[in-house]
Amino acid sequence: MNSKRDDHLIGIPRLAAARVIGVTERRLRAWNQRGLVYPTSVSTVGSREIWIYTLEDLVQGRVVRELEERGIHILHIRRVVEAVRTSTHPKPLASLRWGVSRNEVFVGYPEGSWVGSKAPNQNVIIEVLDLDKIRNNARRVARQRPKDSAGHVESRRGKLGSKDVFAGTRVPVETVISYLERGATPARILEGFPNLRPEDIELAQSLAV
């Protein structure tokens, strides 16, 4: 996934989402309880509840984290989010401009207006969060393969025909097995699929026997 066209394919569980946002999983759960950052999809598998976060969910989390780092209390962030959340902007943290000035939060709308707990004027300098930069960083980190995923397989329901893929990638296991059966060397496969690791090739070799 190298372009914005593939953003809709980003869907990661809560632990990975916390990693991308840069907070603990416990902190992310607390934000969910406050109605700030919540997963787009929640499903139940057996007794487990699976939370899946999209790119826009991750952007919301990064905006909240940056606001907190700038000294804004989480309760204040929540009040502002609830005040500006509408059917047009159901996820205002990811769709509106956010700015900070002296521990006050200001929200900018597409037409250019700003709202906040007090009206901005010529004496108020708003430090605007760079939403494009936040989104690009979240996109980049979300697409990085977790270090402990090499040599493991997962099935992404609804993606790639629900085929088994190497964990943390979109490479089907059967594709690599096919290359091995046609005589491709591990080095050649790794060159063609830079996201794969030697452990993945070893797993494919064991499954091909």
Domain ranges of the chain: 4-142, 148-208
Alpha helices, DSSP H, located in the chain: 14-21, 25-33, 55-69, 74-84, 92-95, 131-142, 173-181, 186-192, 198-208
Helix (H, G, I), strand (E, B) or coil at 44: strand
Q: Which CATH architecture has domain 4-142?
A: Orthogonal Bundle (1.10)
Q: Please say if the pLDDT value at position 90 is more than 80.
A: yes
What pLDDT is recorded for position 124? 63
Q: Most confidently modeled of 54-58, 103-107, 156-160, 195-199?
A: 54-58
At residue 2 the predicted structure's pLDDT band, cuts being 50, 70 and 90, is very low
Closest CA to 167 of 186, 145, 182, 187: 145
Please state which of the ranges 11-20, 36-45, 123-132, 158-167 shows the lowest mean pLDDT.
158-167
Q: Please say if the pLDDT value at position 157 is more than 80.
A: no
What pLDDT is recorded for position 160? 44
Q: What percent of the chain has pLDDT over 90?
A: 42
For range 88-99, the mean pLDDT: 91
The two domains 4-142 and 148-208 share their CATH topology (first three levels equal): no
- Classify domain 148-208 at the CATH topology level: Arc Repressor Mutant, subunit A (1.10.10)
Q: Model pTM greater than 0.75?
A: no
